[in-house]
């Protein structure tokens, strides 16, 4: 997903690449990292570093530094709508052939997750931010540049099954800056909002 959303910037302004996301707690992170390691062995490619494993809620792309305060205010607005904490059960492994990504997800999206994404999208739209309005498909990228044996997007053949779901307790969401560093991609949290 490299589509650049350019409408959050004005010419000549300093920008940052940002997105709203949730990050796994230590136990979920360890389990997802172990899973990524197993998948890397099956599918080749390169696994996402443990500290980078996350679930994107809303991707904004390049945003003017001057608009970061407005972005945080929009998140405050979303929080004010009484969003609830929840447990996210990760129980599916899938392969996107078109971009060679192996990801984990769920067959049943929790209502609290849909509420969180919906509240953020509404607050961001009201504050004049642009983002992709396509239907939300929660996906946790685990391996990139994969060559899975699965012959189609939906077929799971060749991929290991998750014997037990990874239970990910979701208690807050974050605003994250995405930067290319010499050691690879780094995600730097620049704001946090708790769930009730």
Q: How far is the CB of 105 from ligand ATP (least distance, A)?
A: 12
List the one residue from 30, 115, 132, 193 that touches ligand ATP (CB under 6 A).
Answer: 132
Q: Of 80 and 179, which CB lies nearer to ligand ATP in the complex structure?
A: 179
Q: How far is the CB of 12 from ligand ATP (least distance, A)?
A: 22
* Distance from C-alpha of 44 to C-alpha of 19, rounded to nearest angstrom: 28
Q: Of 2 and 182, which CB lies nearer to ligand ATP in the complex structure?
A: 2
- The helix-helix angle for 68-79 and 111-126 (nearest 10°) equals 140
Query: Per-residue contact track with Mg ion, 1 to 30, x per CB under 5 A?
Result: x-----------------------------
In the beta sheet, which residues pair with residue 92? 105
Q: How far is the CB of 163 from ligand ATP (least distance, A)?
A: 26
Per CB under 6 A, does 178 bind ligand ATP?
A: yes
In the beta sheet, which residues pair with residue 180? 185
Is residue 51 within 8 Å of residue 72, measured between CB atoms?
no
Q: How far is the CB of 106 from ligand ATP (least distance, A)?
A: 16
Q: Cα–Cα distances in Å, from 124 out to 21, 109, 193?
A: 14, 22, 15
DSSP secondary-structure letter at 22?
E
Is residue 20 within 8 Å of residue 174, measured between CB atoms?
yes
Positions that interact with ligand ATP (CB under 6 A): 1-3, 17, 19, 56, 59, 132, 141, 178, 185
């Amino acid at each position: 997903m490299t589509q650049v959303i350019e409408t959050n910037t004005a010419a000549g302004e300093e920008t940052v690449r940002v997105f709203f996301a949730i990050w796994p707690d230590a136990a979920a992170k360890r389990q997802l990292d172990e899973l990524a390691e197993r998948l890397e062995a099956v599918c080749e490619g390169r696994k996402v570093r443990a500290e980078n494993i996350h679930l994107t809620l809303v991707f904004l792309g390049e945003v003017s530094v001057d608009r970061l305060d407005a972005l945080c205010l929009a998140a405050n607005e979303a929080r004010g709508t009484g969003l609830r904490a929840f447990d996210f059960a990760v129980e599916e492994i899938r392969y996107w052939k078109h971009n060679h990504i192996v990801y984990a997800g769920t067959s049943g999206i929790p209502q609290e997750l849909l509420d969180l994404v919906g509240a953020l999208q509404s607050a961001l739209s009201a504050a004049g931010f642009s983002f992709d309005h396509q239907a939300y498909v929660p996906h946790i990228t685990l391996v990139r540049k994969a060559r899975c044996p699965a012959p189609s997007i939906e077929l799971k053949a060749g991929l290991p099954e998750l014997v037990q779901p990874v239970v990910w307790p979701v208690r807050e969401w974050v605003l994250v800056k995405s930067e290319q560093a010499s050691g690879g991609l780094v995600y730097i949290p620049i704001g946090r909002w708790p769930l009730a």
